[in-house]
């Protein structure tokens, strides 16, 4: 087998922020760093999961040993399994020589399994076995497995508990993973940190530029769907393009000055995408679970896009989630899976506006997916889930 090498991270990354939320994250990260437990990192995209994984490793006794990463949304089976466990020449089409897996490369160090919600069932089983035995058996190998000592850090922006309830993520693996669980807060929930992130980003550009207090206040009030990553890009662009030493309100892009404008500018592109996806799903040229679902998990399709597809479906079914099942080419037993998946990823759409109005009561009150999970309860309490033919 070829010689194994891996990245070695020794210096902890600089963690910006002094808010109570980020201080709590660092306390938990230090606690995790002091031991060898498996860590589960959750949080929206761009909140710093990758960074905190490196921080934990660099502050641990394993710091001088490799830190390797695997991204389950990018690499698919059997390459993902081979990436982690290695393979023997000829074990699958394209395996032209033996390869060492990243778990072996990370021996006595750590591995970050990123986007773990995208791991296939087979991969989940293999990871569970690894967590239980510490043994690595390359694909196609028949000899005794190798024992390695690797700290596993898993990261995801999905709700694994709900995915486990819907049967797409193994509950036993989830228990194994969240020995230490750290949730990275969204940037909008820690506006106190925005000024520090701005200063840090400016410093990295090496430019003598600053933001006015009013401009900083607008940045702090923004909802930052892309979190710290989006803030960094925004600040870098302003620093390089504004051509002034003090960036003021008038230099900020329009969405910061007029909330809602960004949404308007994106609507047309997104509408087209949602139209195409919906047309593909109902024409069966796009499989909901086989294609749309993985596209969503890999973030090629956003939550907004998925909701738009649902809205188009609910319009057709007069607000019936159950009638979406045949419309989207799913099997009857997929109903619960669909509801759990939508709830896990906060993709649920209130069906009531799509229903033919029969009484004034149906539109009142707030909608929850729980109303749909028990169809009997749903129909008696909110009349949400009757097939359109009955309404
Ligand atoms: N507390 C922090 N201090 C300094 N930089 C940060 C902090 N949090 C996030 N960042 C920066 O924000 C960017 C996004 O962070 P990171 O890649 O760790 O996010 P993530 O949660 O892994 O995102 P994704 O889910 O998209 O993979 C990186 O450039 C990272 O360095
Ligand atoms: Mg990441």
Place of tokens 């669980």: 181
* Domains in the chain: ranges and CATH: 7-185 (3.40.50.300), 190-257 (1.10.8.60), 266-380 (no CATH)
54 lines ligand 1 (CB under 6 A): no
46 lines ligand 1 (CB under 6 A): yes
185 lines ligand 1 (CB under 6 A): no
Place of tokens 């097939």: 387
Residues in a beta bridge with 210: 246
Going by their DSSP bridges, the two strands 146-147 and 135-136 should be labelled as antiparallel
46 alpha carbon to ligand 1 midpoint, in Å? 5
Q: Given this model, what pLDDT does residue 301 score?
A: 85
For the CA of 26, the nearest ligand: 1
The DSSP letter of residue 8 is B
pLDDT tens, N- to C-terminus, the chain (391 residues) = 333 344 544 688 999 999 999 999 999 999 999 999 999 999 988 999 999 999 999 999 999 999 999 999 888 778 899 999 999 998 888 888 999 999 999 999 999 999 998 898 999 999 999 999 999 999 999 989 999 999 999 999 888 887 787 678 899 999 999 999 999 999 999 999 999 999 999 999 999 999 999 999 999 988 888 899 999 999 999 999 888 999 999 999 888 887 655 555 456 567 778 888 888 888 888 889 988 998 888 777 889 899 999 999 999 888 899 999 999 999 999 999 999 899 888 898 999 888 866 444 444 455 655 555 444 443 333 333 332 322 2
Q: Given this model, what pLDDT does residue 384 score?
A: 30
Ion ligand 2 — residues with CB under 5 Å? 49-50
Q: Given this model, what pLDDT does residue 110 score?
A: 98
69 lines ligand 1 (CB under 6 A): no
Counting ligand 1 atoms within 8 A of each CB, the residue from 58, 228, 236, 298 with the most, and so the one to mutate, is 228
260: left (phi over 0), alpha (psi -120 to 50) or beta: left
Backbone angles phi and psi of 41, in degrees to 5 = -110, 125
Q: How many CA atoms lie within 13 A of 190 on its CB side?
A: 22
What is the atom index within ligand 1 of the atom nearest the CA of 50?
18
For 203, other C-beta atoms within 10 Å of its C-beta total 9
Helices (H), the chain: 20-34, 49-58, 79-85, 102-105, 121-133, 160-165, 171-177, 194-205, 213-221, 227-241, 254-257, 261-282, 293-297, 303-316, 324-327, 334-344, 370-373, 375-381
Quote the tokens at residue 250: 């008038």
For 92, other C-beta atoms within 10 Å of its C-beta total 14
Q: How far apart are CA 185 and CA 42, in angstroms?
A: 9
Q: Which long-range contacts (CB under 8 A, 24 or more apart) does 16-19 make?
A: 16/193, 16/196, 16/197, 16/200, 17/190, 17/193, 17/196, 17/197, 18/192, 18/193, 18/196, 19/190, 19/192, 19/193
* Nearest CA owner, ligand 1 atom 15: 48
Q: Given this model, what pLDDT does residue 370 score?
A: 53
49 lines ligand 1 (CB under 6 A): yes
190 lines ligand 1 (CB under 6 A): no
47 lines ligand 1 (CB under 6 A): yes
Q: How far apart are CA 152 and CA 74, in angstroms?
A: 19
For the CA of 44, the nearest ligand: 1
154 lines ligand 1 (CB under 6 A): no
Counting ligand 1 atoms within 8 A of each CB, the residue from 40, 45, 46 with the most, and so the one to mutate, is 46
Q: Given this model, what pLDDT does residue 316 score?
A: 87
287 lines ligand 1 (CB under 6 A): no
Backbone angles phi and psi of 249, in degrees to 5 = -50, -45
50 alpha carbon to ligand 2 midpoint, in Å? 4
Quote the tokens at residue 234: 């925004």
What DSSP string runs through 225-280? TTHHHHHHHHHHHHHHHS-SSEE-GGGS-HHHHSTTHHHHHHHHHHHHHHHHHHHH
For the CA of 56, the nearest ligand: 1
Q: Whole-structure pTM over 0.85, yes or no?
A: no
The DSSP letter of residue 180 is E
């Amino acid at each position: 087998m070829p010689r194994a090498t891996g990245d070695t991270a020794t210096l902890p990354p600089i963690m910006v922020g002094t808010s109570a939320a980020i201080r709590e994250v660092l306390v938990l990260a230090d606690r995790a760093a002091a031991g060898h437990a498996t860590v589960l990192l959750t949080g929206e995209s761009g909140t710093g999961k990758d960074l905190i994984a490196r921080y934990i490793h660099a502050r641990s006794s394993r710091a001088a040993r490799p830190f390797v990463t695997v991204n389950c949304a990018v690499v698919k089976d059997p390459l993902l399994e081979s990436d982690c466990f290695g393979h023997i020449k000829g074990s699958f089409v394209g395996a032209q020589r033996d390869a060492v897996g990243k778990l072996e490369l990370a021996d006595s160090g750590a591995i970050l399994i990123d986007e773990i919600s995208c791991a296939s069932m087979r991969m989940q089983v293999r990871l569970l076995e690894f967590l239980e035995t510490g043994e690595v058996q390359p694909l196609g190998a028949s000899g005794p497995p190798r024992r390695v000592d690797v700290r596993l850090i898993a990261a995801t922006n999905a709700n694994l508990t709900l995915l486990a309830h819907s049967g797409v993520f193994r509950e036993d693996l989830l228990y194994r993973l969240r020995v230490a669980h750290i949730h990275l807060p969204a940037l909008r929930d820690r506006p106190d940190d925005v000024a520090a992130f701005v200063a840090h980003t400016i410093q990295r550009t090496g430019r003598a530029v600053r933001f006015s207090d009013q401009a900083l206040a607008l940045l702090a009030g923004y909802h930052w769907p892309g979190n710290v990553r989006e803030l960094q890009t925004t600040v870098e662009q302003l620093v390089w393009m504004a051509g002034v030493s003090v960036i003021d309100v008038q230099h900020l892009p329009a969405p910061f000055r007029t909330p809602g404008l960004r949404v308007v500018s994106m609507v047309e592109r997104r509408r087209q995408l949602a139209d195409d996806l919906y047309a593909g799903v109902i024409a069966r040229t796009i499989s909901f679970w086989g294609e749309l679902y993985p596209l969503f998990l890999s973030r090629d399709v956003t939550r907004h896009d998925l909701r738009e597809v649902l809205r188009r479906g609910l319009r057709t079914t007069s607000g019936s989630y159950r009638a979406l099942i045949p419309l989207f080419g799913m099997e009857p037993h997929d109903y619960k899976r669909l509801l759990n998946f939508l709830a896990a990823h906060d993709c649920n759409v209130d069906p009531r506006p799509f229903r033919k109005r029969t009484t004034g009561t149906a539109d009142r009150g707030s909608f929850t997916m729980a109303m749909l999970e028990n169809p009997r309860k749903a129909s008696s309490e909110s009349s949400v889930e009757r097939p359109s033919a009955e309404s």
